[in-house]
Structure 1
Amino acid sequence: MINFRYHVVSMTAVFLALAIGLVVGTAALNGPAADALEDNVNALRKTNSQLRDQVTGLRDQANREEQFVTEAAPIMLAGKLTNRRVVLVTLPSARDHVPAVATMLKTAGSKIVGTVDLQDKFFNPDNSAELLDLASNAEPATVPTSAIPTNSDGVETASALLAAVLLDRSPTVPNPDRQAVLTAFNKLGYLNFDATISGPAEAVVIVSGSPYTDSQAAGKNASVVTTAVQFDHAGIAVVAGVLGGEGNLMLEVRDDATLAKTISTVDNADTAQGQVATSLAVYEQISDNKAGHYGVGTNATALLPQEAK
């Protein structure tokens, strides 16, 4: 019969075996296995430190390159756009790099006649009917009826009207009419603009950013393209944009064989290099009547217009 003493002896034997196993295992780990593990940890620590140093070096290099371009810009852009009149049309996602784009245009000698900041409301498909009514009521007699599409697309009609008053046309739209149109759109929250737009422009730089991604993204992104098309119909147009995102204006232009022939694009306008390229793209359009596609994207033809190299 198995008694209590047997259980005690059995349990003691089990715990003794566990203790011996722990001692033997610890001894083994304190030998070659422990040394190998420590070597691996030290190697990973050194690799991580090297990678961190490389990242820091690349960041410093990028900053230096940006500084180099900024310092070289006055030489590269000198006299390219002297007294050329440019209007900036900005999209909601691109406001952060608008000042730098404007600075480079001024460095090239251009006269920024004003900035028109389009609001999200302008591209919302739900506002098409209101935009149609607004454009119809705001259209001055000095804008030829041939300049305005006759359809039910509010963004297309409104964009055509804005392009007609902001860019050079024959006959020229008087300043009071230009201000009246912009004020009408501003009062209903469709855009903001400089207190005074000094006159019509020879070229428009559309400063764009990332595309819309909300539930109405497809319609809004299509409306952004429609706006660019209407400005292109009215005069010289350059899209200063960024890479990435389905519906991206810059990519939509490049992927359209027709638009790519008349609208210039820059895909890194959030950098000094892209801002220089934007100014040179405007110069190329004015001087050579040529559209180009510049930047670091796979579908860019060069970093800068050839004449600038």
Structure 2
Amino acid sequence: MINFRYHVVSLTAVFLALAIGLVVGTAALNGPVADALRENVNGLRKDNSLMRQSVNDMQKQLESEEDFAAQMAQVVLPGKLTDRRVLVLTLPNGRDQAEGVLKMLRTAGADVTGRIDVQDKFINPDSNNNLLELAVTAARPNSAPASNLPGNGHGVETSSALLAAVLVDRPAGSAPVSEADRRSVLQQYATAGYLTPEDKISGAAEAVVLVTGQPYVDKDSAKKDESVVKIAEQFDRAGALVVAGMGSSGGNLVAVVRGDPVLSQTISTVDNANTVQGQLVTSLALAEQLSGKKAGQYGVGDNAASLLPKLPQ
């Protein structure tokens, strides 16, 4: 009969054999496996280093291109907008590039009549009734009769029409808006939190640059994007208009204008106004509108006709 001691010795021998096998196997494989892992790690480090260098090179290239555009602006812009009266309107999503756009306009010689920041409250759907009431009663000056304002009950559209009437040249044959009326209208919209004039408005403009950005993404995004289009439409009816934007997809104002066969005939767009190059092109596009009465779609995004307008020979 096999006794208990025999079982113990047998099990011990089995476990000892397994242990010896593991040690021998590990020792045999340790060199090749470790070498392979080490080689993979070194390869990943090298790839990471190359990618980091590529990113750095691209950043340097971008900075060089921006520097080049800034220097070229001093060559191609002076005189392009001399004595042209330009109003700059900035939407909440276009604030970051507004200063760059203004700088290029002044380099081109434009007489910037002022900069006005449109606040989020202006395009908030909840403000519709208040904007409508303000436009047709409280803020309306005697020199801009309500009969000339849209009558469809859209507060942003009606207020934009009134603002365009007091901030942009009146049609030929119409009485100009007085400075007192202009100040009064702006003051009432500013007091209500709809607009922020960044400086004193020096008079009526003949052209407008509307600085914007990406489309809205909140629950009211569709209505807000629609209101932004209404602003552009009303100022386009009053004078030359260039939309200086960022990107041309997702339903932002640049994309809407380019996709509309009517708006794209009268409104110029620049889809990279967040860059120095785009800010330069914004001034050129405005000069083309004022001198050639031609609208164009410029930049690097979808449906752009070219990078910039054709420069006169």
Same fold (TM over 0.5): yes
After the TM superposition, which parts of structure 1 deviate over 4 Å for at least 4 consecutive aligned residues?
1-4
Is the 8 Å Cα contact of residues 156 and 226 (structure 1) preserved in structure 2? Answer: yes
Secondary structure, aligned partner of 2:241: strand
Superposition deviation, residue 51 in structure 1: 1.5
- 2:260 matched residue in structure 1: 256
Superposition deviation, residue 85 in structure 1: 0.8
Change (3 A) 1:158 1:4: farther
Is the 8 Å Cα contact of residues 165 and 200 (structure 1) preserved in structure 2? Answer: yes
Is the 8 Å Cα contact of residues 222 and 247 (structure 1) preserved in structure 2? Answer: no
Between the aligned partners of 1:306 and 1:110, the Cα distance in structure 2 is 20
- 2:23 matched residue in structure 1: 23
Could you tell me which runs of 5 or more consecutive residues in structure 2 were left unpaired when the two chains were aligned. none
Change (3 A) 1:251 1:6: farther
Secondary structure, aligned partner of 1:82: coil
- 2:149 matched residue in structure 1: 148
Is the 8 Å Cα contact of residues 254 and 270 (structure 2) preserved in structure 1? Answer: yes
Amino acid at match of 2:149: I
- 1:241 matched residue in structure 2: 245
Amino acid at match of 2:127: N
- 1:42 matched residue in structure 2: 42
Is the 8 Å Cα contact of residues 124 and 220 (structure 1) preserved in structure 2? Answer: yes
Q: Deviations for 1:242-273, whole angstroms, at most 9, x for unmatched residues?
A: 01653311111111111111100000111000
Amino acid at match of 2:92: P
- 1:76 matched residue in structure 2: 76
**Pairing of 1:64-143 with structure 2 (within 5 A):** 64-137=64-137, 138-143=139-144
Moved more, 13-22 or 203-212: 13-22
The alignment yields a C-alpha RMSD, in angstroms, of: 1.8
**Pairing of 1:154-169 with structure 2 (within 5 A):** 154-169=155-170
Give the alignment partner of residue 203 of structure 1, picking from 204, 207, 228.
207
Q: Number of paired residues?
A: 309
Give the alignment partner of residue 223 of structure 2, picking from 219, 226, 231.
219
Between the aligned partners of 2:236 and 2:87, the Cα distance in structure 1 is 13
Q: Deviations for 1:213-242, whole angstroms, at most 9, x for unmatched residues?
A: 111111111111111111101111110000
Q: Deviations for 1:61-118, whole angstroms, at most 9, x for unmatched residues?
A: 1111111111221101121001111101110111111111100100001011111111
Q: Deviations for 1:12-39, whole angstroms, at most 9, x for unmatched residues?
A: 2343233223323322333434333332
Is the 8 Å Cα contact of residues 127 and 155 (structure 2) preserved in structure 1? Answer: yes
Secondary structure, aligned partner of 2:261: coil
Q: Deviations for 1:193-216, whole angstroms, at most 9, x for unmatched residues?
A: 134200001110000011111111
Overall identity of the aligned pairs, in %: 57
Is the 8 Å Cα contact of residues 76 and 308 (structure 1) preserved in structure 2? Answer: no
Is the 8 Å Cα contact of residues 115 and 199 (structure 2) preserved in structure 1? Answer: no
Amino acid at match of 1:158: S
Change (3 A) 1:154 1:284: same
Between the aligned partners of 1:7 and 1:107, the Cα distance in structure 2 is 98
Secondary structure, aligned partner of 1:306: coil
Could you tell me which runs of 5 or more consecutive residues in structure 1 were left unpaired when the two chains were aligned. none
- 2:285 matched residue in structure 1: 281
Superposition deviation, residue 143 in structure 1: 1.4
- 1:177 matched residue in structure 2: 181
Is the 8 Å Cα contact of residues 136 and 146 (structure 2) preserved in structure 1? Answer: no
Secondary structure, aligned partner of 1:264: strand
Secondary structure, aligned partner of 1:5: helix
Between the aligned partners of 1:6 and 1:63, the Cα distance in structure 2 is 82
Is the 8 Å Cα contact of residues 156 and 227 (structure 2) preserved in structure 1? Answer: yes
Secondary structure, aligned partner of 1:113: strand
Change (3 A) 1:31 1:187: same
